[in-house]
Amino acid sequence: MVSDVRVRQLRPEEGLLAAALHVQSLRAAGRTAPPGHLDRFASAWGRQRATLPTWVAEHDGTHAGVVMVQLPAPLPADLLGPQWARVVLLYAVPSGPVERATHALLQTATRWLRSDEGVAVAAGTPGLELVEGIRVPAATLDSLGARVEEPRRVRLPAGR
């Protein structure tokens, strides 16, 4: 049950909150943010937020997690085929309700894609794809109806 976790979309003026939660996710992964990261991240997020919808989970008056979605290029699906939105940041605060926050964040993002606002900016997007490295408990994936597929990832270096 996720009723004790509240999820809301970040407002334009909350770039520093997005940045702070990103720094928390880096620390949880054993990494450190470089000097100036908060301001640079907040500024970049502010410029790109129309294509990076972001939601924060709250529990007992504190931040419990964040999900950031990168929307695909706004081209009609019949030109390129369906383009999935990509979850580029998913973090649940370890001291909070991790599974409930993760479920609530992903459920909110998937529902948003079918909302009037989501359809207006991401029409034809079939759903969310998790970028490499994002881990979600199997029970959460099952409850959200996820399909787990083995990716064949081919990366070509720039400038060759």
Q: Collapse the DSSP code of 106 into the 3-class scheme (helix H, G, I; strand E, B; otherwise coil) and give the result.
A: helix
CA–CA gap between residue 139 and residue 68 (Å, rounded): 21
Residue 68 lies in a domain: yes
* 6 burial level (CB within 10 Å; 0-12, 13-18, 19+): middle
Helix (H) or strand (E) holding 119: helix 116-122
CATH number at residue 40: 3.40.630.30
* Distance from C-alpha of 26 to C-alpha of 126, rounded to nearest angstrom: 29
pLDDT band at 102 (very low <50, low <70, confident <90, very high): very high
**Total number of domains in the chain:** 1
Q: What is the mean pLDDT of residues 135-143?
A: 89
**Domain span holding position 64:** 6-143
**Residue 153 placed within a domain:** no
Please write the tens of the pLDDT for every residue from 15-27. Answer: 999 999 999 999 9
pLDDT in tens, 14-71: 999 999 999 999 999 999 999 999 999 999 999 999 999 999 999 999 999 999 999 9
- Residue 30 within a domain: yes
Query: What is the DSSP code (8-state) at residue 131?
Result: P
How confident is the model at residue 21, as a pLDDT?
Answer: 96
